């Protein structure tokens, strides 16, 4: 059965009739039950990883959405454009969970973690017991806080249903205002423009991609959008949205008024950490990125409780600091690493942060998450959508943005990870292979 079909709250796989071998592999935990709160990308991959590690105990996947676990990147790109079938977004068909004896509780939310009793109370007035627990609750959209934000025609993109609601509205000639110039906002802008919409992006910062890019890199990306007919307003926010029941105008704080038919808001997410905080589990410091605080193994401050994905404020041994990441790579790779740590000897989750985005014919990939840098080094011609911008601190590469150079990412990550000294001239010289420079 495909992942796109809406479902009522249900329980699957509870009978234990799947095909998982009950004999545990050497070194595999003898726990009886692992519960995963959150049945999205991270939760789904974690359940797979538990079975892949040889864990044969009970695995329960609790998800507030009624869809099977799925990946989110296509929501603002291929699925929104109508070039991808709904079933392709899901991680696995429903039969996979039955065959691997993974109990799905979909359309049901976790209400409370009772640490002392080792159980999770659910929204259907039942509870589920655990020996170990993973919290993979992800995040929810930041909502626009201005007059008119509740008018019909204001959309967000966080789940499949959001995308399916928005998609038919993006028709030829429709006037679209996209609030937020981050990855999601720019992906929506590109998709809408390709569907024939007139698109304006409104970004509070003085540049697009302010959270992940130097102003010079942001300007390069903005120029690519300008060339495709996207209008970008920076240094302004939305003062109010006007209309009689439906959106008609967006009034910006810089005085600009936009006549619109559709407003799409993409101003980030808030981590769904409340269920952990209410259980007394430590979260990130107030005023920073938030999220559930975990060590390099994914372990929280509570015994036998772990967290992974967008909700985790995790310690990165490479960067030597805690951070919370919102990316496909982190959602997938932290899920696998932390799930294995729950049942095998722990191994640190230590990866260079990696982000990617497709906008028009540009594949943009970012390695690293530098807080500071002292200069940029350019290789190739990013303005022509084929090049790399390196972020440098002294003689070290602390980050890089690749324009249609995805094949070089493993070498860029290695340069960031090792911190090996490198000359600017070598990085800029396309005649010298990055494979050789990275060593």
C-alpha–C-alpha distance, residues 150 and 118, integer Å: 40
Region(s) of the chain under CATH 3.50.50.60 = 10-140+270-343, 143-267
| Residue burial 51-71, b: 16+ Cβ < 10 Å; e: rest | bebbbbbbbbbbbbbbbbbbb
Q: For the chain of 439 residues, list the mean pLDDT of each consecutive stretch of 10.
A: 40 40 45 96 99 97 98 98 96 98 98 98 98 98 96 98 98 99 98 99 98 97 98 98 96 97 97 96 80 98 98 98 96 99 98 98 98 98 98 99 98 98 98 97
The pTM (predicted TM-score) of the whole model is 0.92
Segment (H or E) for 381: strand 375-381
| Run of H or E residues at 387 | strand 386-393
10-140+270-343: CATH topology is: FAD/NAD(P)-binding domain (3.50.50)
**DSSP character string of 125-178:** S-EEE-SEEEE---EEEPPP-STTTTSBTEEE-SSHHHHHHHGGG--TT-EEEE
**CB count in 10 Å sphere of residue 116:** 7
188 closest CA partner among 167, 208, 218: 167
Closest CA to 248 of 154, 155, 167: 154
**Among candidates 343, 323, 300, which has minimal Cα distance to 53?**
343
Q: Which of these, 247, 271, 269, lies nearest to 260 by C-alpha position?
A: 247
Per-residue confidence (pLDDT) for residue 343, from 0 to 100: 97
Domain with CATH 3.30.390.30 in the chain: 361-438
CATH number for region 361-438: 3.30.390.30
pLDDT at 4: 35
Domain 143-267 falls under CATH 3.50.50.60: yes
Q: Other C-beta atoms within 10 Å of 372: how many? A: 7
Give Rg (Cα) of the chain.
Answer: 23
Residues for the chain: how many in total? 439
């Amino acid at each position: 059965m495909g992942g796109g079909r809406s479902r009522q709250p249900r329980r699957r796989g509870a009978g234990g009739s799947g095909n998982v071998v009950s004999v545990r592999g050497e070194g595999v935990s003898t726990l009886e039950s692992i519960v995963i709160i959150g049945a999205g990308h991270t939760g789904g991959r974690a359940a797979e990883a538990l079975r892949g590690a040889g864990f044969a105990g009970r695995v329960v996947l609790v998800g507030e959405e009624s869809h099977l676990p799925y990946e989110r990147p296509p929501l603002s790109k291929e699925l929104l454009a109508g070039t991808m079938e709904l079933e392709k977004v899901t991680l696995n068909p429903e039969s996979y969970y039955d065959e691997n004896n993974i109990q799905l509780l979909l359309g049901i939310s976790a209400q409370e973690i009772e640490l002392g009793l080792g159980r999770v109370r659910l929204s259907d007035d039942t509870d589920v017991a655990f020996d170990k627990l993973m919290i993979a609750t992800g995040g929810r959209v930041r909502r626009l806080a201005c007059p008119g934000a509740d008018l019909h025609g204001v959309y967000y993109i966080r789940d499949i249903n959001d995308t399916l609601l928005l998609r038919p509205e993006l028709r030829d000639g429709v006037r679209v205002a996209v609030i937020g110039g981050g990855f999601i906002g720019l992906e929506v802008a590109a998709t809408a423009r390709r569907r024939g919409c007139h698109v304006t992006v409104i970004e509070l910062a003085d540049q697009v991609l302010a959270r992940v890019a130097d102003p010079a890199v942001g300007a390069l990306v903005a120029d690519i959008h300008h060339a495709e007919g996207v209008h970008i307003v920076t240094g302004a926010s939305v003062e109010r949205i006007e209309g009689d029941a439906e959106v008609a105008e967006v009034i910006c704080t810089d005085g600009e008024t936009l006549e619109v038919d559709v407003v799409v808001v993409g101003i980030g997410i808030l981590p769904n950490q409340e269920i952990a905080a209410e259980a007394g589990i430590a979260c990130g410091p107030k005023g920073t990125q938030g999220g559930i605080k975990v060590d390099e193994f994914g372990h929280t401050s509570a015994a036998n409780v772990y967290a992974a994905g967008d909700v985790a404020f995790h310690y990165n041994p490479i960067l030597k600091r805690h951070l919370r990441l919102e990316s496909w790579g982190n959602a997938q790779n932290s899920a696998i690493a932390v799930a294995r740590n729950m049942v095998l000897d722990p191994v640190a989750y230590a990866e260079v942060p990696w982000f990617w985005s497709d906008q028009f014919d540009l594949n943009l990939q970012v390695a690293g998450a530098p807080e500071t840098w002292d200069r940029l080094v350019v290789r190739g011609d990013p303005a022509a959508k084929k090049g790399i911008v390196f972020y440098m601190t002294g003689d070290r590469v602390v980050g890089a943005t690749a324009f249609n150079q995805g094949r070089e990412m493993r070498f860029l990550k290695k340069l960031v990870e090792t911190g090996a000294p490198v000359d600017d001239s070598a990085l800029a010289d396309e005649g010298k292979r990055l494979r050789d420079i990275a060593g």
